[in-house]
Chains A and B, each alone.
Chain A
Amino acid sequence: MTTMDARSMGTSVRRIEGPDKVTGTATYAGDSVADGTLVLHPVQAGVARGEITAIDTAAAQALPGVVAVLTHRDAPTLGDTGDPEHRVLQGTTIHHRGQYVAAVLAEHAEVAAEAARLVVVTVDENPSTTGFDPDAQAYTPSALANGQPPDSGVGDPDAALAAAPVVVRASYATPMEHHNPMEPHTTTATWVDGRIEVFEATQGVESSRQTLATLFDAEVVVHASHVGGGFGSKGLHAGTVLAVLAARTVPGRPVRFALGRRQMFETVGYRPATVQHMALGASRDGRLEVVTHDVVGATARYKEFVEPAGGSTRSMYAAPHRRTSHRAVPLDLDGPTYMRGPGEAPGSFGLECAMDELAVALDLDPIDLRVRNEPEVHPENGLPFSSRGLVECLHAGAERFGWSSWDRTPRRRLVDGWWHGVGVGCGTFPTLRFPGSAAEITFTGGRYVVAIGAADIGQGARTVLTQIAADALGVDVGSITVEIGSTQVPVGSIAGGSAGTASWGSTVVEAADRFRDKYGENPDDGDHADAATPDNPWAGEYAMAAYCAQFAEVAVHADTGEIRVPRLLGMFGVGRILNPTLGRSQLQGGMVWGLSMALHEESVVDPRFGEVINHDFAGYHVASNADVRVVEAEWIDEDDPYINPMGAKGIGEIGIVGVSAAIANAAYHATGVRVRSLPITCDDFLTSGLL
């Protein structure tokens, strides 16, 4: 078993749609505006829980320019997708604040907004719980959001903790966070003769098509040429259903629904809050005897999603006794969903901070502690690793970062009024391949047209698939045209799970192999071959994952407690990097988000109102340019022949994993103040008594 030869793969082919994007000619879902397009403005629930008793639409309907007002009274019964979020206008029950309870269609956005304001919804409000209390009644979910069981265990962790010579116990908290891609969720839908055509901001045209086809029992075509970021939030949410319901009432006329920023905080998902109770027991020479990671997380009462925050603890370090558990506290909020590094991003904060605390307790370099606990095989299922670059990442990263030049004792370096320190945090993310894609290769006009319903959400799928196809066909990238982003080409799986490139790429390689088998190197016009995603023969034989070691330098102002991150270095073990420019961009983007998660991001729910109260970019901070200084992403050479023909591990999510822990650990090293709750802000230091 070997990875395929690379000619274009591994080179920085320029982003194919780059010129279209920088000249503003790339069309996004909201740009596909035909004459006569109507604008939808929703009416949303003002309470978190209740029953609608009346809706008065008279004033809205009387407003000039209003074309239609939709309510549950006139909505058709939709097919069942199994997802409660898709049951739009299907009844009178309100499950969360911001739920769509009606909608207005009008000729202009201003008229639609004013008419929506004039719709009077009368509600019998019921008591609700929207604030996350980790000590509240929690239940054991049947499964985590990634399908894994909620609990795992090996040995007798409680007894091992009682017997371990050195024990660290601590609890870590991560807040609710919202994705906020630059492009808010947008749908442009037209319903003609029982056929629905949708221009959609989505991470998967085929999954969107299937959902809409089930809901509306109609033929559905979905297009997504360009998508302005997704990060897990661009599955199919209620707004798309609402837009198609509206389009159904005005056959032949396009209906556009583009969410406002505040609606992004109540209708398209979020990362739920967690509290993680960690316990580590070790021998005095730094061998872990036991690791436990017990997570209490928020979920929605009407739609379960349990963040698998303890998931990566199942594979990170060797220890004979181990336990992970997940309990869920239901809230009357909209449903949480996948958000970049779901599970791993918040879970690495708990595990990697606890490892740092253990290193302090042992008076051991935190890199040495991790190296000493590197597992030979997957510590829970016993599988060998297809490749595992963690130790090499730690060593290579430490070298590049200048780790050894820092005294390990905290609170030693005060420069120009700022305390400086360094920290490390590690991470992993599974290497997956989704089934169900199909690729078609047609030789026409001297070019190879490669068609697969992939989604380019900014990660560069169009470009990288061109490179993969070129190498698989043995031709130059200039001979390849890739057609993606539509259900009018063969089906593609979603851009998610860091599995897009692996899934689509494996499928394209399979189709290319068949094409070459059939037609050789000199095909005739019209020759074509297709293939479905091949199974990975090594699945179940090896544990497959990406690894990283993140290094941070932090500065904390000695008078004000302001915290800055002058330097981040991420060292990654991710197999073959297919395009260094795009890959570095994606890894750096993840690291910037990790910084943002560490220092800024927090959705504050005010339980009196059942909503996120800092629901715009003035209140919900993401890192600004001035917060982001030196961010370096590098990788080790790693040849993994077991994961896919390209030898490439997914890199969409690993960039964020471990960053917040590295920053928290560096903040401790800088100041001696251990912050166990994100985000880390000046008050954490001001109220510590240590500044």
Chain B
Amino acid sequence: MKPFTYARPSEASEAVAALAADPDARFLAGGTNLLDHLKLGVVEPSQLVDVNRVTSTAIEDLPDGGLRIGAGVPNSDLAADPRVRERYPAVAAAILAGASGQLRNMASTGGNLLQRTRCVYFADPTTPCTKRDLSQGCSAREGWARYHAILGTAADGCIATHPSDLAVALVAVDAQVQVLGPDGARTIPIGELHRLPGDDPTRDTVLAHGDLITAVDLPAPTPAVRNSTYRKVRDRASYAFALVSAAVALEVRDGTVADVRIALGGVAHKPWRATVAEAALRGRPATDDEFRAAIAAELDAAEPVRSPLGGNTFKLPLVTGTVVSTLRGLAGGTA
């Protein structure tokens, strides 16, 4: 691998300044994704700036009944926190649906949101990839596209999916991301953190070089969020990325959908908030037929990939089945 230097600042501002001064520097947190990429030659940073000393590992109560999760909180601690488990069950379930115990011990909250796609072409520097290099085309469109996007894709562009389970659940609960950048601190709604590929698929998020996630805030849980879960469908029972996942929150009153949140993983370049389906369901009876019609409306815009190595048209019925099953379960039926 290409030689690099390593720095371990003791102040967040130092870490941000170090990156701002070096366009090829990278933050290092848990390293569960970045170290693989270093070994594979997917990224070749000049400098690693270790942020483990400068990010909080605390989960604090917020005055409004919400929680502030330090960016350095390990995934395993976040999933195990009783407040998270009780108030935001989808968040805890999403974390436990991902990776392994060992990886969750290492992986940080901030790093989880910034992990890169597991597209096999992105992870192989010998194959063209427009996400690694804008001057190249997308290999997945005519390749092994089983895990790739069906929503929010651009014509001929990147069809990578975002791999984080946690991010999908955070989108469903409307988390806020605290960021420290070269120009100071700001707050980004989680739904606006990740990007669609558009004309620059090299950028997964709206963060600029040097922006450091310092915390993730969870707003006070609504009744729907307290009745939330995360359903992940994959090719084996554990230790695999999602073909399709859904973080779903549901409040039913008198058989009618009072509130619903649906965020999808494995279908787009970002966690996909199914706003069309949510709008279609609010005020409607909590029945399979209504659930099915709502998700069908969401999928009107889907553009699955047909590829000689196996496309992903099956994701249309898979999204439908996953969401319907999960809503039914939250409404008290068989999931």
Q: Does B237 contact A (CB under 8 A)?
A: yes
Chain A residue numbers with a CB within 8 Å of B121 are 613
Count B-side interface residues using an 8 Å CB cutoff. Answer: 36
Closest CB in chain A relative to B307 CB, distance in Å: 10
Chain A residue numbers with a CB within 8 Å of B142 are 608
Of A114, A614, A626, A682, which is in contact with the most chain B CB atoms at under 10 Å from its CB?
Answer: A682
Q: Does A621 contact B (CB under 8 A)?
A: yes
Closest to A117 in B: B41
Bound complex: CA A564 to CA B237 (Å): 8
Chain B residue numbers with a CB within 8 Å of A619 are 120
Chain B residue numbers with a CB within 8 Å of A625 are 238
A627–B317 contact, CB under 8 A? no
Closest CB in chain A relative to B195 CB, distance in Å: 23
Closest CB in chain B relative to A495 CB, distance in Å: 29
Chain B residue numbers with a CB within 8 Å of A691 are 317, 321
Bound complex: CA A616 to CA B239 (Å): 13
Q: A619-B120, A687-B317 are in contact. Are A626 and B235 (CB under 8 A)?
A: no
Chain B residue numbers with a CB within 8 Å of A681 are 235
Q: Does A20 contact B (CB under 8 A)?
A: no
Chain B residue numbers with a CB within 8 Å of A686 are 314, 317-318, 321
B238–A624 contact, CB under 8 A? yes
Q: Does A144 contact B (CB under 8 A)?
A: no
Closest CB in chain B relative to A46 CB, distance in Å: 6
B335–A621 contact, CB under 8 A? no
Instruction: Tell me whether chain A's interface is mostly helix, strand or loop, or mixed.
Output: loop
A683–B144 contact, CB under 8 A? no
Chain A residue numbers with a CB within 8 Å of B124 are 611, 613, 615
Stretch of A85-93, A301-309, A481-489, A598-606 that contacts chain B: A598-606
Q: A113-B1, A686-B314 are in contact. Are A621 and B120 (CB under 8 A)?
A: no
Q: Does A135 contact B (CB under 8 A)?
A: no
A608–B325 contact, CB under 8 A? no
B325–A560 contact, CB under 8 A? yes
Bound complex: CA A370 to CA B335 (Å): 39
Of B127, B313, B314, which is in contact with the most chain A CB atoms at under 10 Å from its CB?
Answer: B314
B233–A606 contact, CB under 8 A? no
Bound complex: CA A30 to CA B127 (Å): 31
Q: Does A56 contact B (CB under 8 A)?
A: no
For chain B, residues 292 to 335, give those with C-beta under 8 angstroms from any C-beta of chain A: 309-310, 313-314, 317-318, 321-322, 324-325, 334-335
For chain A, residues 600 to 642, give those with C-beta under 8 angstroms from any C-beta of chain B: 600, 604, 606, 608-609, 611, 613-616, 618-619, 621, 623-627
Chain B residue numbers with a CB within 8 Å of A627 are 236-238
Bound complex: CA A611 to CA B139 (Å): 13
Q: Chain A, interface size: which category?
A: 35 or more
B322–A560 contact, CB under 8 A? yes
A624–B239 contact, CB under 8 A? yes
B2–A621 contact, CB under 8 A? no
Q: Does B35 contact A (CB under 8 A)?
A: no
Q: Does A561 contact B (CB under 8 A)?
A: yes
Closest CB in chain A relative to B245 CB, distance in Å: 11
Closest CB in chain B relative to A27 CB, distance in Å: 25
Bound complex: CA A644 to CA B206 (Å): 71
Bound complex: CA A624 to CA B235 (Å): 11
Q: Does B3 contact A (CB under 8 A)?
A: yes
Of B139, B144, B237, B239, which is in contact with the most chain A CB atoms at under 10 Å from its CB?
Answer: B237
For chain A, residues 534 to 592, give those with C-beta under 8 angstroms from any C-beta of chain B: 557, 559-562, 564
Chain B residue numbers with a CB within 8 Å of A608 are 139, 142-143
Closest CB in chain B relative to A617 CB, distance in Å: 9
Bound complex: CA A624 to CA B3 (Å): 35
Q: Does B118 contact A (CB under 8 A)?
A: yes
Closest to A628 in B: B237
Q: Does A165 contact B (CB under 8 A)?
A: no
A613–B127 contact, CB under 8 A? yes
Q: A114-B1, A619-B120 are in contact. Are A560 and B233 (CB under 8 A)?
A: yes
Q: Does A416 contact B (CB under 8 A)?
A: yes
Q: Does A524 contact B (CB under 8 A)?
A: no
Chain B residue numbers with a CB within 8 Å of A564 are 237
Chain B residue numbers with a CB within 8 Å of A114 are 1-3
Closest to A614 in B: B120
A417–B325 contact, CB under 8 A? yes
CB within 8 A of B143: which of A416, A606, A623, A626?
A606
A618–B241 contact, CB under 8 A? yes
Q: Does A407 contact B (CB under 8 A)?
A: no
CB within 8 A of B144: which of A117, A416, A604?
A604
Closest CB in chain A relative to B314 CB, distance in Å: 4
Q: Does A110 contact B (CB under 8 A)?
A: yes
Bound complex: CA A621 to CA B243 (Å): 13
Bound complex: CA A417 to CA B325 (Å): 9
A559–B321 contact, CB under 8 A? yes
A560–B236 contact, CB under 8 A? no
For chain A, residues 398 to 454, give those with C-beta under 8 angstroms from any C-beta of chain B: 416-417
Q: Does B126 contact A (CB under 8 A)?
A: yes
B325–A559 contact, CB under 8 A? yes
Bound complex: CA A600 to CA B313 (Å): 19
Bound complex: CA A604 to CA B121 (Å): 12
Q: A626-B237, A627-B236 are in contact. Are A609 and B126 (CB under 8 A)?
A: yes
B318–A682 contact, CB under 8 A? yes
B334–A417 contact, CB under 8 A? yes
Other 15 A-B pairs with CB < 8 A, given A606-B309, A613-B120, A623-B236 = A113-B1, A117-B1, A117-B2, A559-B324, A560-B321, A561-B317, A562-B233, A564-B237, A600-B236, A608-B139, A608-B142, A621-B235, A683-B318, A686-B318, A687-B313
25 inter-chain pairs at a CB distance below 8 angstroms, sorted by A residue, are A117-B1, A417-B335, A559-B321, A559-B322, A561-B317, A561-B318, A564-B237, A599-B236, A604-B309, A606-B127, A606-B143, A608-B143, A609-B139, A611-B124, A613-B124, A613-B309, A615-B120, A618-B118, A619-B120, A624-B240, A626-B236, A627-B236, A686-B317, A687-B313, A687-B317
Chain A residues packing against B (C-beta within 8 Å): 46, 110, 113-114, 117, 416-417, 557, 559-562, 564, 599-600, 604, 606, 608-609, 611, 613-616, 618-619, 621, 623-627, 681-683, 686-687, 691
Chain B residues packing against A (C-beta within 8 Å): 1-3, 41, 118, 120-121, 123-124, 126-127, 139, 142-144, 233, 235-241, 243, 309-310, 313-314, 317-318, 321-322, 324-325, 334-335
